[in-house]
Amino acid sequence: MPTALQGELFHASERLVVAPTGGIFEPAMDLRPGRRIQIGQVVGHLSSGATRTPIVSRFAGKSGEALAWSGERLVSHQPVMWLSTGLGAP
């Protein structure tokens, strides 16, 4: 490997869907593991007063474990669920 490119390589097939803001979490669907999630899919909503904010997946993959539950108060950037993209190490 050329000197300029030396370093650690990291490849992960797991991604996190995170809350974009704080609020009370309500899932938009069944969050059991193994569900297909698409890029742009709404997986839940956060309610704070009269404001309702969607939680949108930035990745496609199969759902893993849910990390948030219905009625739970979440903070900004708190993980909501794992996704497995199926993209392993090269």
Model pLDDT, residue 90:
46
- CA 6 – CA 9 distance, rounded (Å): 9
Task: Go through the domains of the chain in sequence order and give each one's CATH number.
Answer: 13-82 (2.40.50.100)
Give 26's strand partners.
45
Is pLDDT above 60 for 5? yes
pTM for the whole thing? 0.81
Residue 89 predicted with pLDDT over 60: no
CB atoms within 10 A of CB 44: 23
Confidence band of 53 (pLDDT split at 50, 70, 90): very high
Top-confidence residue, 30 or 20: 20
What is residue 4's predicted lDDT score, i.e. its pLDDT? 65
Report CA torsion sign: 58, 53, 23, 63.
Answer: negative
Structure tokens at 14: 């797991």
Using CA atoms, how far residue 58 sits from 4, 27, 41, 83, in Å, is: 32, 16, 8, 10
